[in-house]
Structure 1
Amino acid sequence: MKNFYLALVALLLPMLAAAQFSVSGKITDQTNGEPLAGATVTLQNASSLTTNSSTNGSYEFNNVKAGNYTLKVSYVGYQLFNQNLNVNGNHVINVSLNTNNFTAEEVTVSATRASAKSPTAFTNLRKQDLEKNNLGQDLPYLLNQTPSVVTTSDAGAGVGYTGIRIRGSDGTRINVTVNGIPLNDAESQGSFFINLPDFASSVNNIQIQRGVGTSTNGASAFGASLNIQTTTRQDTAYANINTSAGSYGTVKNTVQLGSGLLNGHFSLDGRLSRIASNGYIDRATSNLLSYYLSGAYYTKNSTLRANVFAGRERTYQAWNGIPDYVIGDDSYAAANGIPDNRRYNELGFLGKNLTPSYQRSNFYDNQTDNYQQNHYQLLYDRQLSDKLSFSGALHYTKGSGYYEEYKIDQPVTKYGLTPVMLNGTAINNTDLVRRLWLDNDFYGVTYSLKYHPQKTLNLILGGAYNEYKGAHFGNIVYTAQSAGIPPNYEYYRDNANKKDFNIFARGEWTLGQVLLYADMQYRHIDYSFLGFDRNLNNIQQDAKLNFYNPKAGITYNIDNRNNVYASFSVGNHEPNRDDFTNSTPQSRPKPENLKDFEAGYRTAGKNYSAGINGFYMLYKNQLVLTGALNDVGAAIRSNVKDSYRAGIEVDGRVNIFSKLTWAANATLSTNKVKNYQQFLYNEDNDTYVQQQYSKTNLAFSPSFIGGSELSFSPIKNGSIALLSKYVSRQYLDNTSNTNTGSLTVNPAVANNKYAYHRYLDGYFVNDIRLNYNFKVKGVKNVGVSLLVNNIFSAKYESNGATYAGISGGYVNNYNYIFPQAPINFLAALNLSF
């Protein structure tokens, strides 16, 4: 009998080895039992199987061969889970993850982030979400399918200078942090992602908060915030080589390397990138370089990480847009030899009038923006006890560069010079080339203490001190005529210093099914700048501001899958550099104030997730352009007393069946300013005509924004997706073009379709994305991607500007718009080792 059983086992072994089984389960938070959607689950042996948990936290591997495996589960903010597994049948393994309170890259970010049940509107994007579309376009374009987002590109194809608006708020009102460290420029308050090309390749995840959101570092979120976390720990070594190429000469090359965890304590990660593009707009070239280096040291109770990253950009500028009289009149283009009037770029033009021989030689070839920005971050975390953790960061950013431009027939007195005599003739004017320089330093410290005494209570104390030093100056590097200008003559300089201190405390307390949320921030600003005093003398001045930003909210958990929430938040926002420098203390605008009311409902099931959020954003003293001049003769922004945004955001994702997924979002809103006054300059008599509007639409605030992504996976490791975006009409100013009084539009420009209005038509754009991954010998993964943008070649403009004036008794609208590219493509090959 013994020999019989041995023979039977010997016969069954090959069958058992060939058998295939399933491994499934659910991923949850150990502290509250909540499902964790999007956790990375790997079943590893000689080859690896990887999947992500669904919206209800479940995962499943099918057709698993018998053998020994290691089950690994990772999720942002949680400790890594490992379990050895002998697969000899079907297994159900449920995993409860512990919160990781002592990883610096997690705690630093979590101090300024909303938690899963926070009573605010937010969207989380993982690295995998960004990678699908990361073929060379700038970071804002990778966020285009999130709720309430509108993106634009100066060059028309997503490479070069790009912009993002969320709920109609532009980049100066969107707070951006990288690992909890402010990225917004301290003076202009914008975030220029062109200074960090291909930064998305080093991003691990992003949280987008809409509205005021949670307290954060840097300028207050006045419409939205982007909280970016860069590369985090990876336990195994890796190497990636990515190459993309496509329309308009666009090329992207990226190399990434990582050591994995060395000796249980060290890790090193690096990236080197290059992006080049000619742009859709004529002479809108981009030449972009960047790198990212990160090293970390881990102990049982602490983590130390150093990040060094930098970007260098050189772009031929297209930031003035296309004049409406060119794009709206094909006969004008034909008469002046312009081959494509939607691409015409007038920046750098060397003559006063176009001629039929429209040639590149008519333009100054070095009409370029040149800038380099270097970032240094030192992040430290220590677990002080099982209930208390500390996270701190030191940072320094160095930026330097200039914009070079050709200026025609310039008065020499404008540059602080006295006209010189040449052969008995006074040289009063000359063509010249000037460089407008910016040389700045930004440094400081951020910190947070996280106290978690019990499962139902979470307290955070955090803050930052940051200092900015910026030098603005201009040089003349060339003159067409000898005007007595010494080499590299500096004709102006403005040194600025800004100190920014903030401290905040936030708490979340769970009482049964109710979560109570409270948040309070104090912020102090001390800004020194060169500006006009009451006597119109340009002298160094100082402005001090103090802001209090309270927030409160409540979430009611109906069950594990459903909750409702409501919150009230206050945000305050200081004027920008131009508002200060181009005014006197008497005409200086007031800070802006926002009261933000949010309420919503969230649900998640096995094959779906959805949410609806209502918002009412009530502004006091919002800053807008009115056309009026202040007491120094500058046309700067003015405060409008009352304005608001109110709307509903809906987003969701559903697995229609195993291979077909649909994700969609929509925002319906009304965005109004009350009692708005516009001032039009009348060239006929050198006066201003005031126009009064009782209620009009806020500029660049579409009433409807919709996005859709329909993804189908017909084969294993392959997918095709249709990405759609609809944006309704956007007004270029705050008048809604409803009234011109007794004045009429000049009939001489009646053939121009833009002559009678100041708005951008709504547009509907569709893209196709294909991804396929496979393995070959010696290569862990080969990824092939194709992104075809604007497949129906819709003609549309996503941004613009308008300047209205009066001449000959008529209103003349001078509109400048930014056409976006027709059908274009990007293809990519990614090799992972």
Structure 2
Amino acid sequence: MYFPILCYFYNKYPERLVDYKKDILLAMRLNITLCVLSLLAVNKVQAQDTASRRTDTTQRLNEVIIYQANKTTPVTFQNLDMKRIREKNIGQEPSFLLSETPSITVYSDAGSQQGYSYYRLRGIDQTRINTTLDGMPLNEPEDQGAYFSNYPDILNSVSRIQIQRGVGTTKNGAASYAGSVQLFSPDLTDSSAVTVGGGYGSYNSFRVFGEYKSGIKGRKALYVRASQVYTDGYKEHAFNNSQSVFASGGLFYDKSAWKINIMAGHQQNGMAWLPVADTIIAKNRKANANSKAEKDEFFQGLVQLQQVWRPSSHANITSGIYYTYLKGGYGFDGNNFAGLPSTGELFHYNFRSHFAGFFSNYTLTHNKTKWTTGVHASWYTRQHKGVDDVLGELYRNSGYKSEASAYSKLEYYLDRFTLYADLQYRYATFNYKGSVDLERLNWQFLNPKAGVNYAINNQWSVYYSIGRTGREPTRNDIFGGSDDLAADSSSKPIIYNRDAEYVTDQELGVKLNTQRFTAQLNGYYMRFHNEIVLNGQIGPNGLVLTDNVERSTRAGVELYAAYQLNKNLSLINNSSYNHSVIKEQHSTFRPVLTPELILNQEVVYQQQRWLLGVSGRYQGSSYIDFANTADINSYVLLNARAQYTLGRYIVSLFVNNLTNARYYNNGSVDASGNRSYFVQAPTNVYVAFKYTF
């Protein structure tokens, strides 16, 4: 299965395979060893269990999902209510829907809910949040960011979402430093249906989509969805024009299943990544600090092939290969960035990347144990090119990132106790080819995790876990915000940071699950070493700048609660309190964009064909600079929605920011102390419909 990937990389990058020979051999040896262990275990189980002759059903496809925590796993996680997600999804960036869970903050460049948006978990940015689709990494290896904007309307094709807060369980790709967001592709076992939908709202925002589900027919199934999303944006010349497709197909056999996912997105944006000075906001809240000429265009597509084999009733082997391609770039107005009159001449950042990898996992469930072990390896290359409208091409360089990892996870069930242990070894390397020579950078991590869950009775349980993980710096951290590596007077590369950062995370929680009331209350204590934190500044390539701090801690309490008062009325609460401290050179201060208190409360009333919902959000103040001299004020948001269902028709009305609150949720401070902010939209409305036949 994996030989074609190696052949592709040998033909395209033979010099890289020479450099990474040891890494590839290590991954292959790990894979071979695990396969041998798997076959031995399978043979043993088959000899003991005649039930292995049972044929699989189509439901076995769900076994692809091996990283999802279950109710006895002693980690802090939340499975999102997909029915409620589908009711609220109008093609907005997923960040806004994720922000309705504990400890997540969100802001958008354009002020509206389409286009570029960003989220933070426990005050930690999304380059430190692992994001996967059916176990496939979605984080770009160089900068470790996952960009939902490149796959517009992605939640329209997602069957499940699990958010893990803290280091959680081992997953493929970027480190689960703050947590993880796990997306799962369409469930091909759903009944056949065709759905069309659309919507229109403030700022000339609209979405149209069509979706087809075949259901399983003759061991085969097909899913296809296509979407168009557009908005002018709240800010001036901050439009977003995006298209996407998602196709998924499956083959189902007695003891195995195959699934392929193909996803592609294309987007064009009017750029709005610069915050706006407060003096300008006072005159025009819709002002855009980026010039009208600054635009971007990106295409990103992926293909993922998965195979599930169930050789016995106790054993399961899942494997997958994947490939992602990205091409695009954006224009940068240097005069405008420097505060000079714009001449319309731009500098263009252009990118093209290839990302390929594989993973294989073996799970053995027998008596009181569940053992899962697996390997993952990936190869990534991105070409960077800088082109000036007048001077032409100024530089061209390439970054190469590869990694190999192996893990083993064990759950042991002892009466009401679940004992959990998880150990991962991960090796990552970064190489660079450009006008400045850079020695290859290597990082090795051994990430242990352990925990215990105790079921007090059928309704109550408590858990405790402790885990440690490390994370290498991004390319932007290493280069100090430069897209082309700079050199000093002696032609040596200027490296800002090459050291890894580490966190030790402890989680303690209690869960309650009854017929009408569900709740999870947890506390956490995260202790960091050499943490890479935002310093409140933005580099000339539009990416935020960071600094290292010697010691820092993040601690807090998080609550999720849902109460069904009666058959018509339900209450949902997601709240969090965060106390974070950075200690550096005898000084103590708070990290940026980390509010202490966040409260989300929603009331939903449903009567026959009608559904009415009102939600409120309080977000406390937070600092926007490293020195804690400037902050953004706390704010309260009220949103409302109404839904009417008539047969196969669903019509929805959304009214956001009912009180017309004037608020910011991000900003920066320049060297002179001038403050700039990202303005978010005032009262806005959106109407949507959906028809299924």
Q: TM-score, normalised by structure 2?
A: 0.86
1:129 aligns to what SS in structure 2? Answer: helix
1:172 aligns to what SS in structure 2? Answer: helix
Q: Deviations over 1:14-42 (max 9, x none)?
A: xxxxxxxxxxxxxxxxxxxxxxxxxxxxx
1:248 aligns to what SS in structure 2? Answer: helix
Q: Deviations over 1:574-593 (max 9, x none)?
A: 10102223485875342110
Instruction: Tell which deviates more after alignment, 398-407 or 375-384.
Output: 398-407
Query: Does structure 1 retain, via aligned residues, the 8 Å contact 2:479–2:495?
Result: no
1:253 aligns to what SS in structure 2? Answer: strand
1:320 to 274, 285, 293: 274
- Shift, 1:103, TM fit: 5.1
RMSD: 2.4
Matched to 2:325, the amino acid is K
1:703 to 583, 586, 596: 596
Matched to 1:793, the amino acid is N
1:380 to 300, 307, 316: 307
- Shift, 1:494, TM fit: 1.4
Query: Does structure 2 retain, via aligned residues, the 8 Å contact 1:108–1:448?
Result: no
CA distance in 2, matches of 1:410, 1:269: 45
CA distance in 2, matches of 1:189, 1:759: 27
2:154 to 171, 175, 199: 199
Change (3 A) 1:628 1:431: closer
2:62 maps to which residue?
106
Matched to 2:457, the amino acid is D
Q: Deviations over 1:733-789 (max 9, x none)?
A: 23222xxxxxxxxxxxxxxxxxxxx111011101001112121xxxxx111111110
1:539 has 2:437 as partner: yes
2:262 maps to which residue?
308
Change (3 A) 1:602 1:100: farther
- Shift, 1:604, TM fit: 1.2
1:194 aligns to what SS in structure 2? Answer: helix
CA distance in 2, matches of 1:546, 1:138: 34
Relative contact order (alpha carbons < 8 A, sep ≥ 6): 1 or 2 greater? 2
2:440 aligns to what SS in structure 1? Answer: strand
Query: Does structure 1 retain, via aligned residues, the 8 Å contact 2:459–2:512?
Result: yes
1:768 to 624, 640, 658: 640
CA distance in 1, matches of 2:468, 2:57: 29
Matched to 2:548, the amino acid is N
1:560 has 2:420 as partner: no
Q: Deviations over 1:209-265 (max 9, x none)?
A: 0011000000111111001001012353200001011000000001001111112x0
Change (3 A) 1:505 1:446: same
Q: Deviations over 1:35-58 (max 9, x none)?
A: xxxxxxxxxxxxxxxxxxxxxxxx
2:571 to 658, 662, 675: 662
Instruction: Tell which deviates more after alignment, 601-610 or 582-591.
Output: 582-591
1:831 aligns to what SS in structure 2? Answer: strand
CA distance in 2, matches of 1:792, 1:410: 34
2:63 aligns to what SS in structure 1? Answer: helix
Q: Deviations over 1:347-403 (max 9, x none)?
A: 12xxxxxxxxxxxxxx43xx2110000110101101011111100111000000010
2:73 maps to which residue?
118
1:723 maps to which residue?
615
1:271 has 2:225 as partner: yes
- Shift, 1:723, TM fit: 1.1
CA distance in 2, matches of 1:197, 1:822: 23
Change (3 A) 1:100 1:828: farther
- Shift, 1:156, TM fit: 0.8
Matched to 1:789, the amino acid is N
1:610 has 2:519 as partner: yes
1:284 to 238, 241, 244: 238
2:681 maps to which residue?
821
2:408 to 493, 496, 505: 505
Residue pairs, 1:140-289, within 5 angstroms: 140-263=95-218, 265-289=219-243
Q: Deviations over 1:653-706 (max 9, x none)?
A: 111122110010211121110126xxxxxxxxxxxxxxxx62111111110011
- Shift, 1:561, TM fit: 0.6
Change (3 A) 1:237 1:627: closer
- Shift, 1:101, TM fit: 9.4
2:673 aligns to what SS in structure 1? Answer: strand
Greater share of strand? 1
Query: Does structure 2 retain, via aligned residues, the 8 Å contact 1:519–1:551?
Result: yes
Matched to 2:460, the amino acid is N
2:422 to 519, 522, 526: 519
Matched to 1:314, the amino acid is Q
Change (3 A) 1:607 1:832: same
1:438 to 351, 355, 358: 351
Residue pairs, 1:614-633, within 5 angstroms: 614-625=523-534
1:346 to 284, 289, 292: 289
Query: Does structure 1 retain, via aligned residues, the 8 Å contact 2:58–2:189?
Result: no
Q: Deviations over 1:261-308 (max 9, x none)?
A: 112x00011001000000111110000000011110001111101111
Q: Deviations over 1:485-532 (max 9, x none)?
A: 5xxx3211110111111111111111011110000011000110247x
- Shift, 1:474, TM fit: 1.6
Query: Does structure 1 retain, via aligned residues, the 8 Å contact 2:56–2:256?
Result: no
Change (3 A) 1:199 1:635: closer
- Stretches of structure 1 that go unaligned for 5 or more consecutive residues are 1-97, 334-340, 349-362, 412-428, 480-484, 532-536, 677-692, 738-757, 776-780, 806-811
1:831 has 2:691 as partner: yes
2:328 maps to which residue?
401
Q: Deviations over 1:184-226 (max 9, x none)?
A: 1111111111000000000001000001100000011111100
Query: Does structure 2 retain, via aligned residues, the 8 Å contact 1:102–1:389?
Result: no
1:138 maps to which residue?
93
Query: Does structure 2 retain, via aligned residues, the 8 Å contact 1:104–1:305?
Result: no
- Shift, 1:105, TM fit: 4.8
- Shift, 1:115, TM fit: 1.3
Query: Does structure 2 retain, via aligned residues, the 8 Å contact 1:471–1:496?
Result: yes
Matched to 2:91, the amino acid is G
2:558 to 646, 649, 653: 649
Query: Does structure 2 retain, via aligned residues, the 8 Å contact 1:102–1:301?
Result: no
- Shift, 1:116, TM fit: 1.1
- Shift, 1:625, TM fit: 4.9
**Equivalent pairs, count:** 623
1:785 has 2:652 as partner: yes
CA distance in 1, matches of 2:241, 2:683: 22
1:297 has 2:286 as partner: no
Matched to 1:827, the amino acid is V
Matched to 1:498, the amino acid is K
Change (3 A) 1:530 1:814: farther
Instruction: Tell which deviates more after alignment, 394-403 or 164-173.
Output: 164-173
2:372 to 460, 469, 473: 460
1:732 has 2:592 as partner: no
Q: Deviations over 1:780-819 (max 9, x none)?
A: x11111111001111101112222x3xxxxxx31322111
CA distance in 2, matches of 1:504, 1:223: 19
CA distance in 2, matches of 1:635, 1:131: 32
- Stretches of structure 2 that go unaligned for 5 or more consecutive residues are 1-53, 481-485, 487-492
Change (3 A) 1:543 1:102: farther
1:598 maps to which residue?
507
2:215 aligns to what SS in structure 1? Answer: coil
2:84 aligns to what SS in structure 1? Answer: helix
Matched to 1:436, the amino acid is Y
Q: TM-score, normalised by structure 1?
A: 0.72
Query: Does structure 2 retain, via aligned residues, the 8 Å contact 1:102–1:382?
Result: no
2:363 maps to which residue?
450
Change (3 A) 1:396 1:300: same
Change (3 A) 1:226 1:622: same
Change (3 A) 1:409 1:559: closer
Change (3 A) 1:504 1:100: farther
CA distance in 2, matches of 1:799, 1:271: 34
